[in-house]
Structure 1
Amino acid sequence: MTAPYLALGLAGPHLVELTASRALLSRWDALPIAFSVLGIDRVDGSAPAPVTLASSAVGATLAGITKYGRFLIAVTPQRDHPYNIARRVASLAHLSGGRSGVLFGVGDAYAPEGPKEAPAWGGAGLGAGAPLNPQTAFDAAQAVRALEQSWPHDSIVGNRVTGILVESNRIVHVDIDNSFSIAGPLNAPEAATGASVIAWYAATVADAPPERGNDPIELVLGAAGSVPVVALGKEPPAGEIAGVVLRAGLGQSVGELLDTAERWLADGFAPVAVGGSLRAALDLSRPAPLPLTARAAFPSPKPHVHL
């Protein structure tokens, strides 16, 4: 049986503690773990903590001041439209060199409630909103994947002979019309490491992502997934599992979490080489590109021979 990998789950107060300590950041960055979930308490059903930081803001900080640590930011469509989520996800992929990914949940413990008839996204007052359920979250995940791929990285050619910098005809509309209506494309190119890893949090079977075609979900965390979450102080589960997320409680420190992680890594958990992309660390293949029939957003560029 292959030994499982180890990941960490950080709640709001842990994000504050980690980003305030160079010593903790250095220890975290050197750990041979698969990834850390930033703000797991946003999506796991926990009550909001007294303090927290935005997952994507912490991700941007870690991407800039660390070299090796990989992470998932926790998001839901309750507060954020998937277009805005996609912009953050793509930006983090560029900033981190592919060390980042995104964890989708149904609801965000820290987000304000929207209208009763459309609590997802409607709370921002910028759209009609949608029901707050797994289908809406799944539709948001599909949108993020498509938007991140709408401007392919290899369309940036920088051809000095022709003067064509970008094969702009390969930038496409996503033309999504489900819980969200999005034409696209994203206003940022795909990272060199490809589309970001998309994970899902499922505490119960009822929280599982819908089963349908064009599934963007590559990893499911939680009791109903292949990567269970274990509270700090508990023993790892028996049986064959892909990995374990070790999650600290609000009364436990980041130092205690790192101490236990180091002990578990020395006692049977498979170390994952530090550095490199999250996709490579999890041995996940690149997702299929958008279909060739996707509607081009721009005409084919013409040479600029005098450049």
Structure 2
Amino acid sequence: MSKPYIALALAGPHLVELTASPALLARWDALPVAFTVLGIDRIDGSAPASVTLNSSAVGATLAGATKNGRFLIVATPQRDHPYNIARRVASLAHLSGGRSGVLIGIRDGYAPAGPEDAPAWGGAGLGGGAALNAQTAYDTARAVRALEQSWPHDTIIADRESGILVQSNRIVHVDIDASFSIAGPLNAPEPAAGASVIAWYDEAGDAIPARGDDDPVDLVLGGSGSVAIIRPDETPPVDGVSGVLLRAEPDQPIMELFEAAERLLADGYTATEPGRPLRTALGLSQPKPLPRTARPAFPTPKPHIAP
């Protein structure tokens, strides 16, 4: 039986260190690890570090500056409305060629508090808001998955004969009415590699609410999930998990984390081929498409033949 794969978790200071050094970026890009979490200290209950970078912005940097490395941005409903999270997730998947995904948490240690009666995204001044709890975070994951699928990638046909660029009648409303209401659709097409991987952070005991047939969570980190979270100096498990996430302390140099990963890979832990889309690299199946009964957002396009 093969040993688990290796993944990395970076805190705020590591994001600053990584993006400031072309040498470190090249070293990271060559590591045959499954993925890297960008800014795990936002959601793990840690006190905010003195320096950090926005997880999505770092993801955009890595997507453009590297060719192989895979990553999960960190997102919570505390700061952002789910529609905005979905736009970022889809955009990064396009930029990275499917090498990216999102890790959903509940609270962002770096985010300002919203109104007491509705702290989820209320501080953004967008109105509404919701309770800041596991159910709202889970509803956020559901919204991200549905929105990303609301404009199927294969609707873009660019048919010169008919003059139809997009089969717009297949772009659908998501019609979500949970912790928040969204009609949709997203204003960007589904990535070519398919729907992005959605992970859930459970190390702090934030168990996933009841999961149904439309469960959007592909991967659970920590807790009873399939990916164990350990410090680089701990002995990683071999049985019962599919992956091991090495979580460095904020004041620990990022090179020490890279070296710990290399030691484990040399010790027989599973290397993950760089460059492949994240969903493919983790052996995750594509999620079910939205129901055929979903409400079309646009009428069926008519042929437009140039004279």
Which bracket does the TM-score occupy, shorter chain normalised? over 0.9
Shift of 1:237: 2.7
- Corresponding residue for residue 212 of structure 1: 211
Answer yes or no: is the 8 Å Cα contact 2:2–2:269 preserved in 1. Answer: no
Instruction: Work out the CA distance in 1 between the residues paired with 2:94 and 2:250.
Output: 31
Which secondary structure state, in structure 1, belongs to the residue aligned with residue 169 of structure 2? Answer: helix
Alignment of 1:58-207 (within 5 A): 58-204=58-204, 206-207=205-206
Letter in 2 for 1:160: R
Alignment of 1:234-245 (within 5 A): 234-245=234-245
Shift of 1:227: 0.6
Answer yes or no: is the 8 Å Cα contact 1:40–1:74 preserved in 2. Answer: yes
Shift of 1:45: 1.3
Answer yes or no: is the 8 Å Cα contact 1:55–1:73 preserved in 2. Answer: yes
Shift of 1:2: 2.6
Q: Deviations over 1:185-216 (max 9, x none)?
A: 00000011010000000014x41111231100
Answer yes or no: is the 8 Å Cα contact 1:200–1:217 preserved in 2. Answer: yes
Which secondary structure state, in structure 2, belongs to the residue aligned with residue 207 of structure 1? Answer: coil
What's the RMSD between the two structures over aligned residues? 1.0
Answer yes or no: is the 8 Å Cα contact 2:79–2:124 preserved in 1. Answer: yes
Instruction: Work out the CA distance in 1 between the residues paired with 2:302 and 2:62.
Output: 40
- Corresponding residue for residue 272 of structure 1: 272
Shift of 1:238: 4.8
Q: Which runs of 4+ in 1 moved over 3 A?
A: none
Shift of 1:126: 1.1
Instruction: Work out the CA distance in 2 between the residues paired with 1:222 and 1:35.
Output: 15
Q: Deviations over 1:221-280 (max 9, x none)?
A: 013321111112222135321100001101211111111111111002100111110000
Alignment size in residue pairs: 306
Instruction: Work out the CA distance in 2 between the residues paired with 1:93 and 1:250.
Output: 27
Instruction: Work out the CA distance in 1 between the residues paired with 2:207 and 2:300.
Output: 42
- Corresponding residue for residue 14 of structure 1: 14
Q: Which runs of 5+ in 2 are unaligned?
A: none
Instruction: Work out the CA distance in 1 between the residues paired with 2:224 and 2:203.
Output: 6
Please report the TM-score for the alignment, with normalisation by the length of structure 2.
0.98
Answer yes or no: is the 8 Å Cα contact 2:145–2:216 preserved in 1. Answer: yes
- Corresponding residue for residue 52 of structure 1: 52
Letter in 1 for 2:206: D
Which secondary structure state, in structure 2, belongs to the residue aligned with residue 158 of structure 1? Answer: strand
Q: Deviations over 1:153-197 (max 9, x none)?
A: 000000000000000000000010110110000000001101000
Letter in 1 for 2:211: R
Shift of 1:33: 0.5
Which secondary structure state, in structure 2, belongs to the residue aligned with residue 44 of structure 1? Answer: coil
Which secondary structure state, in structure 2, belongs to the residue aligned with residue 262 of structure 1? Answer: helix
- Corresponding residue for residue 299 of structure 1: 299
Answer yes or no: is the 8 Å Cα contact 1:232–1:249 preserved in 2. Answer: no
Say whether residues 1:246 and 2:239 are aligned partners.
no
Which secondary structure state, in structure 2, belongs to the residue aligned with residue 165 of structure 1? Answer: strand
